[in-house]
A and B are shown apart, each in its own frame.
Chain A
Amino acid sequence: MNVFNSRTTRMSGLFAAVLCCGVSFGCGTSTSDRDTAPQSEQIDAANSTQTETRLQVFASNYPLQFMTEFIGGESVSVSLPVPADIDPAFWTPEPDAIAQMQTADLIVLNGATYEKWLSAVSLPSSIQVFTSGGFRDRFITIEDLVTHSHGAEGEHSHAGTAFTTWIDFQLAVEQARAIRNALAERLPEQQEQLDANFAELERELLALDEQLEEAIAASDRQNQPLLASHPVYEYLAQRYDLNLQSVLWEPDVVPDESEWQDLQAKLSDRPAQWMLWEGTPNPESTARLEDLGVSSVVFSPAGNVSDGGDFLAVMQTNVNALIAIF
């Protein structure tokens, strides 16, 4: 009844306004070198090789780019707009890159707060696919608020939600599945091929998962304390129940004295014999670690393109390296 009254009032107002206007009018009162090339050039170069019939996809990191290319095959053209010397997790897109992403057919995102730049950038929701959306309840929260800086991307913090989801290979399968689904929605005629490619990728990822799980389970050192040079291994540690503690070191930067002292304090509590690194560490760091009885092993998250082969090859190297210390 109130709704009706409200409508009648509004309608009368609208009608009166039309009438008044009509009267007043009637009265006559009317009146390829990814390291150095700018982002836009990299994207242009990538686009120039694409044919119009292929689905134009942007991925926010290398694992997603690899998975999308693996599943989509010849039907997709996948661009990674992040320069090779920048960690995609701390990248900020330039206006040209934003403009080009806005016109893409699909933007494959990691989610889990990986793409910090999304909070300041406008992209159509309809072309975004958050590959970790299906396991939001399994996200890991990091409590520390320490900020630090390194490399070209400047200062950053690892506080909030852990985002290196793909190094838990079961989660990587879920992300690949989300990509398959998003591609199938846009390429329904390719469904069979997409399913076949996804199945192959799933097999590869689960094989890696199985190798690691079996090796750790069979080891009598499965509870050994481990150190990580950077807080990026949360999902790996959770999946394989690793006894892992992180510091905030960079492979290419030799830690200062206070950081060494912090490490020694940690080692007195947890006598770790191995430290996981994202990349090959500085020899000076490894030598000093050896003096403390800590050996180094590289487990690369492969966030960006590397010289160590494709994503699966890098992950196989990682798995082999990790198995070797158990």
Chain B
Amino acid sequence: MTVTHSFYLAWKYLNFNRLKTATLIACITLVSSLPLALNLLLSASEEQLMSRAKVTPSLVGSKGSDLDLAINTLYFASEPPDPITMASVREIEESDLALPIPIATQFLARGFPIVGTTLDYFNFRELSLASGTRFGVIGDAVLGADVARSLGLTPGDSLVSSPETVFDLGGVYPLKMNVVGVLDRTYTADDRAVFVDIKTTWVIQGIGHGHQDLAQPDAEELVLEREGNEIVANAQLPQYTEITPENLASFHFHGSTDTFPITAIIAVPPDRKSAAILQGRYEVTDAPLQFVNSPQVIEELLIEIFKIRNLLNLVFFLVIAATLLAIALIFNLSLRLRQSEIQTSFKLGCSRGAIVQLIAAEIAVILVVSGGLSAIVTVGVSHLKQDITRTLIS
């Protein structure tokens, strides 16, 4: 019996016992691909976490969990930290120790984070536009590549911010934002964010708003009380929920900009010395804010992940060993069940070697198919690892 004949008979046998064959192939595929795929995903996660932290080493935010602050500011994930004020941005600016880039992440639009910032963020991250322009006025929004694809939005469309709470009638009103640009894909958290001017987040929050001019004679029915220079509006005064060229000039902010909220500051120092001096200012015990060295925080996170990874690798090793033993047992039991079939072949004149060759061919087919599937899975994971890990991190 030639090798070809052996493989032909093996194929026929495996095809006849499809369920058993499929189960064996699935087991071997899983056992071989799972550790590889997991290691690929972990490596990609580590790479993504670390690379973004490395280019964004200096963060300033409210005191509390440094990890929460880093994860929220770098990846726009997790609950936003307690707010800080724009006064902190001004202080850093006036110190000349760093360029402060404010970040506000407390709002969502159709499930995606709205990131309020300044245009310095685009320059800092070297974000380029796939279409449209950068935001020019309040109410403009620039979408990350994944947001635009998921929501099917292009420049000229609009996107409404999500209300903070459905039943809070006195709370934050949704703002209809004008999509003016879509970013090129970056394979980072920026792909899944809606970028607006920091002032737009204050409009969403109700700190800034636009309405009819109450000083005008035709607004008399909207006035509750006039006392000297103060005009109090009644509840009928409608506030604009969309910023248009016509009503843009009516938008205004109440109070000092110094008191307006943000969630964190990305500090971009010109050199290490400035970074060290800036860090020192926040390390005094009574400092109201904390300085976060994000590579250090992420590295600590990765060290913990390494420990869990080692544990899992051990578990995988044991699972693989148990699975291989189980497969060997299955083959052994299968051979016993096939004793009568093997005896018949022997009586028909088939040599012992030919029978061994036949069984070896069956095992080879299963291993080759499993190996092929495992390779496909691994290549697939390798190809999609950036997307998968970014989704998981976000």
For the complex, what is the distance from the CA of A126 to the CA of B67, rounded to whole Å? 28
Contact: B301 with A122, CB < 8 Å? no
For the complex, what is the distance from the CA of A26 to the CA of B101, rounded to whole Å? 41
Kindly specify which of A14-22, A51-59, A199-207 makes contact with the partner chain. A14-22
Query: What residues on B are CB-neighbors of A12 within 8 Å?
Result: 308
Query: What residues on B are CB-neighbors of A25 within 8 Å?
Result: 37, 377, 380-381, 388
Kindly specify which of A94-102, A186-194, A264-272 makes contact with the partner chain. A94-102
Set A26, A92, A120, A147: member contacting B30, Cβ < 8 A: A26
Contact: A22 with B381, CB < 8 Å? yes
Kindly specify which of A2-10, A67-75, A250-258, A316-324 makes contact with the partner chain. A2-10
Given contacts A3-B65, A124-B118, contact A99 B384 (CB under 8 A): no
Tell me whether B109 is interfacial, beta carbon within 8 Å: no
Contact: B118 with A145, CB < 8 Å? no
Q: In chain B, what residue has the closest Cβ to A121?
A: B137
For the complex, what is the distance from the CA of A122 to the CA of B121, rounded to whole Å? 12
Set B119, B133, B199: member contacting A119, Cβ < 8 A: B199
Could you tell me the distance in whole angstroms from the C-beta of B28 to the nearest C-beta in chain A? Answer: 11
Contact: A98 with B304, CB < 8 Å? no
Q: In chain A, what residue has the closest Cβ to B118?
A: A125
Contact with B along A121-152 (1 / 0, CB 8 A): 11111100000010000000001110100000
Given contacts A21-B392, A102-B119, A125-B99, contact A6 B65 (CB under 8 A): yes
Query: What residues on B are CB-neighbors of A10 within 8 Å?
Result: 67, 71, 78, 301
Tell me whether B11 is interfacial, beta carbon within 8 Å: no
Given contacts A12-B308, A126-B99, contact A92 B249 (CB under 8 A): yes
| Chain A contact surface mostly | helix
Set A3, A19, A27: member contacting B312, Cβ < 8 A: A19
Contact: B42 with A18, CB < 8 Å? yes
Query: What residues on B are CB-neighbors of A159 within 8 Å?
Result: 229
Given contacts A14-B305, A119-B253, A122-B135, contact A23 B393 (CB under 8 A): no
Contact: A123 with B119, CB < 8 Å? yes
Query: What residues on A are CB-neighbors of B34 within 8 Å?
Result: 22-23, 26
Could you tell me the distance in whole angstroms from the C-beta of B187 to the nearest C-beta in chain A? Answer: 17
Query: What residues on B are CB-neighbors of A3 within 8 Å?
Result: 65-67
Tell me whether A30 is interfacial, beta carbon within 8 Å: yes
For the complex, what is the distance from the CA of A66 to the CA of B246, rounded to whole Å? 33
**Which residues of B from 15 to 34 have beta carbons under 8 Å from A?**
29-30, 33-34
Set A6, A28, A121, A143: member contacting B68, Cβ < 8 A: A6
Tell me whether A11 is interfacial, beta carbon within 8 Å: yes
Contact: A27 with B66, CB < 8 Å? no
Query: What residues on A are CB-neighbors of B30 within 8 Å?
Result: 26-27
What residues of chain A have their CB less than 8 Å away from a CB belonging to chain B? 3, 6-8, 10-12, 14-15, 17-19, 21-23, 25-28, 30, 92, 95, 98-99, 102, 119-126, 133, 143-145, 147, 155, 159
- Return 11 A-B CB contacts under 8 Å, by A number: A11-B308, A14-B305, A18-B45, A25-B377, A26-B34, A27-B30, A120-B138, A120-B199, A125-B99, A125-B119, A143-B229
